[in-house]
Structure 1
Amino acid sequence: MEISNQLKNQHLMWRAGFGPSVEQLSDLPKYAPEKYFKALLKASSQEPQYINVADENLVSLYDQLQDANKRKNFDEMKRREINRMQQAAVRSLNLYWLKEMVTTSAQLREKMAFFWHGHFASRNNNIFYNQLLLHVFRKYGLSDFGTLLREVSRSASMLYFLNNQQNRKGRPNENFAREVMELFTLGRGNYTETDVKEAARAFTGWTANGKGEFVFRENNHDKDAKTFLGKTGNFNGDDVLNIILEQPQTAKFITKKLYTFFVNDQPDETLIARLADDFYNSKYDITALMEQIFTSKWFYDEKNIGTRIKSPVELLVGIQRMIPMKLDNDYALFNMQKILGQQLLYPPNVAGWAGGRSWIDSSTLMMRLRIPQMFNDKDELNVTPKQDDDVMMGRKSDGTANVPMKPAAAPQKKVYGAVEASINWEQYINRYAKIERDQLLGIIRQQILQVSTPQVEQTISKSLDLSSRAAFIKSATVQMMSLPEYQMC
């Protein structure tokens, strides 16, 4: 079957971004995907602005907390107030980034940042650490993996999340060193326990100050010789990262992770091996690898289109890009993330989100199918949230599943408030002005769904509003987005 430029470009926009925007609908059929990708790359080439949501009051109080003399005057109530302000600021950062995903033309940059923030999973309630790490993902997400790895490894957010501030000569803490290899670079089975111990010694003294700046405490560093991945020397943390980057296995591990996220959940080992060789030889040039993927013919094969389940964030952002809207209750979007099991900046554990079929269960699927109607009808969020996973950092002893150590209490149904969205239907409806009435439903289906299911039109026909052309377009769009097929991209 010949695949149209429109479908190919929609596929590209869902994978290299968060779905096509309403403004792009008329352009999708006009350009070859290679040209469309070049435009995406150009739009994402500028360095992003630093996102700062911390207000002056919080900054002032936090600065005082870092001063040993002023800290003495902080009672428990004042500390709690700072913590409350921090948590509120992290929620604001979450929503700010979500809106950026919806509105920005730098779709590729934000999608890469979104990927890396799941790969280098880290969570804490310090807004300053969160802002700094998010900027790393957005600034270096399309650079080279070596630079990105070093920046993340020196970030306060990651160092504290993985307890490296406790890593000292004579009392090594292995958490950071282990996860750098197991989850971030080499993958399980490609290093030994001795390598973990020796790497931990090399990372002794790596920490950060209260402002989030990297600090090397030389007095805490183990200066004796270490043997790591077959090499011996007086290694420090940077040396360990360089040795890791010298391993072709690192390129293979990262390439496979990128492939299963951006191309297909089912890895093509032959393709991945070829991509990994090129990635390694390019000195880990992320942009070159993504260009190779997104401009290849095989990326647009039928087997790769409409085969991924949208993550909660992709789902929420994609709807808002297609149907422009303003939410009077912004925190409804934050609560939807929580209900569906993916909060930005708050991964379930150090392994990040499992993705794929884990996004869907009986409760989340029903919620997903309700969301378009909730936006349209200003419905209430009255649901049972998914449980948070923070047991053993979400890992069994073999590092795979996330199973609680003891039975958890059943979550209770909560009312999160109304979803108050003001939709700009006029902008959306105008895109269909030149389409004949008898062709409308088919065109809407093609632009909304990535899955080829012509019988969908018959399925929703009884639910359409036939009172006017505008009402027909609105109801058809909402009904299409409320189908199980819309969950795929």
Structure 2
Amino acid sequence: MALSDLHIQHLYWRAGFGITRNDLQSIRKKSVDKHVDHLFNQSEYKPLKYNLSQFEVDRKELSKEERKALRKEANQTMIKLNLHWMEHMVATEGVLREKMALFFHDHFAVRLKNPVVCLELLNIIRKHSIGNFGDMLLEISQSPAMIIFLNNQQNKKSHPNENFAREVMELFTLGRDNGYTENDIKEAARAFTGWTIDKQFKFRFNPRVHDTGGKTILGRSGNFKGEDVIQILLEQKQTARYLCEKLLEFLLGVPAEKEDIERCADLLFQNNYDLSVLLRSIFTSDTFYDERYVGAKIKSPTDLLVGLNRQVPIDYKDPKVILQIQRRLNQVLFFPPNVAGWNRGQGWIDSSTLLFRMKLPSLVLNFGVIEWQPDETLSEEMIARLNNQQERLQKRTEKKIQAYPNWERCEKNFAGSSENLDTFLLQTNPVAIDIQSDDDLKTRIIKIMSTPEYQLC
């Protein structure tokens, strides 16, 4: 079955960050299976690399001033990692892996100012994001980032710390109040005692502080260790159900029907948590392309920024501007608001963020200026005055934003386009936009991207 242009764009927005017009033209006649194969074939895993050798030091040997300087550099490096991942999402062909990594970056939310362990965690997520959820769960649970963030290095048989045990059930596997008790958390915490890290920020099991006594967890009794708890959680059908409920809402844009959640949970559970099997099934299903879901998802701030930059290549003289934009839109990568992650869907939008979202295309594509057509009834003096105000505003915004779009590349991408721009750029029904017959491509794109409808995909 060949997909319509609208459905191809739907697939590439939900499994990636949109599609360019040239790419759309080149793959129009492929079947849905071929499209999905292409997404997987392009998403080979390669670790995201960044030079962090300056942090390979024994902090105990540093002076107070040196430790202070190192902390400051760590803070700056976290910003650089943020921008590095954003740039990778804009440039990569492997969009499916990055889009799913974005989902699990939120699912396994960690907030630290340690670039070494944060980059390691991101690469664990990226490695497994379209692979096996069970493997990802265990490796993340033993990652230094998660151990530090949820204080499991403080979890000892003499003084158990329940933070990680609670979150692994409540947020990562079963879901809040779904089949576990406070006693299950206490017993699981005992099993996780001894999971810690060494001076080089590597996972280490310390048997001296591990509780070797018998434990009863979710109706199972034994002398369990942390790995056993992870396996017990994976053996609960509720884990597959909870994950599918979150994943379907992420991919569909709205909460899924119960029967669709159950069908996906059965498939994931029967295939030992193989995410590739689940994703292929979702992307090739009739349900995924139902009109209820097309154009029904509010773009996350990352979707919005990356998608815009993939359509119109932008060079930021000071890339930290991207960080400021993320802050205004309420999604700073590597810095979720809490362990539960970001408020998704409608949570992205309030009166402040919506106005900024609609202004964003003119800010980064035209220095904050939306081209205007003078009213014929205005005097020449008034038109000159308004033009002068526009020029001053443009210069002030240019100095602040310093974003330089590559309109030449963009125009090549849209050269010879027969379809209307609004039909291509919007996933909803085209709206009445004040586009003049003599508007150039740049003006038309900015006007369309500045609509409320462009916030949806």
TM-score normalised by length of structure 2: 0.90
5 Å-filtered alignment, 1:5-16, equals 5-16=4-15
Distance 2:13 2:74 in 1: 33
Corresponding residue for residue 388 of structure 2: none
* Contact in 1 for aligned 2:89/2:95 (Cα 8 Å): yes
Corresponding residue for residue 249 of structure 1: 238
Q: 1:422 aligns with which of 375, 390, 404?
A: 404
* Contact in 2 for aligned 1:209/1:215 (Cα 8 Å): yes
Q: Deviations over 1:57-87 (max 9, x none)?
A: x23xx4131xx4x24xx12x22211111001
Q: Deviations over 1:259-307 (max 9, x none)?
A: 0101232221101101100110000000110010011121111111010
Gaps of 5+ in 2: 370-396
Match status 1:451 vs 2:428: yes
Q: 2:268 aligns with which of 279, 282, 286?
A: 279
* Contact in 1 for aligned 2:2/2:29 (Cα 8 Å): no
Please state how far the C-alpha of 1:416 moved relative to its aligned partner.
12
Aligned residues: 429
Please state how far the C-alpha of 1:3 moved relative to its aligned partner.
10
Please state how far the C-alpha of 1:35 moved relative to its aligned partner.
1.4
* Contact in 1 for aligned 2:253/2:345 (Cα 8 Å): no
* Distance 1:49-1:270 versus aligned 2 partners, 3 A rule: same
* Distance 1:227-1:364 versus aligned 2 partners, 3 A rule: same
Q: 2:416 aligns with which of 429, 434, 450?
A: 434
* Contact in 2 for aligned 1:5/1:32 (Cα 8 Å): no
Q: 2:71 aligns with which of 80, 83, 97?
A: 83
- Give 1:239's aligned amino acid: D
Corresponding residue for residue 41 of structure 2: 42
Distance 1:320 1:450 in 2: 17
Please state how far the C-alpha of 1:417 moved relative to its aligned partner.
7.1
Distance 2:117 2:398 in 1: 28
2:333 is paired with a residue of what secondary structure? coil
TM-score normalised by length of structure 1: 0.84
5 Å-filtered alignment, 1:103-252, equals 103-189=91-177, 190-252=179-241
Q: Deviations over 1:283-339 (max 9, x none)?
A: 000011001001112111111101010111110000001112211121111111111
Corresponding residue for residue 369 of structure 1: 358
Please state how far the C-alpha of 1:167 moved relative to its aligned partner.
0.4
Corresponding residue for residue 63 of structure 1: 57
Distance 1:324 1:416 in 2: 17
Gaps of 5+ in 1: 381-414, 437-441
- Give 2:161's aligned amino acid: N
Percent of aligned positions with the same letter in both sequences? 41
Corresponding residue for residue 373 of structure 2: none
Corresponding residue for residue 398 of structure 1: none
Q: CA RMSD in A?
A: 1.9
Match status 1:460 vs 2:434: yes
Runs of 4+ in 1 over 6 A off after TM superposition: none
Distance 2:357 2:31 in 1: 32
2:362 is paired with a residue of what secondary structure? helix
Corresponding residue for residue 28 of structure 2: 29
* Contact in 1 for aligned 2:245/2:255 (Cα 8 Å): no
2:204 is paired with a residue of what secondary structure? strand
- Give 2:401's aligned amino acid: V
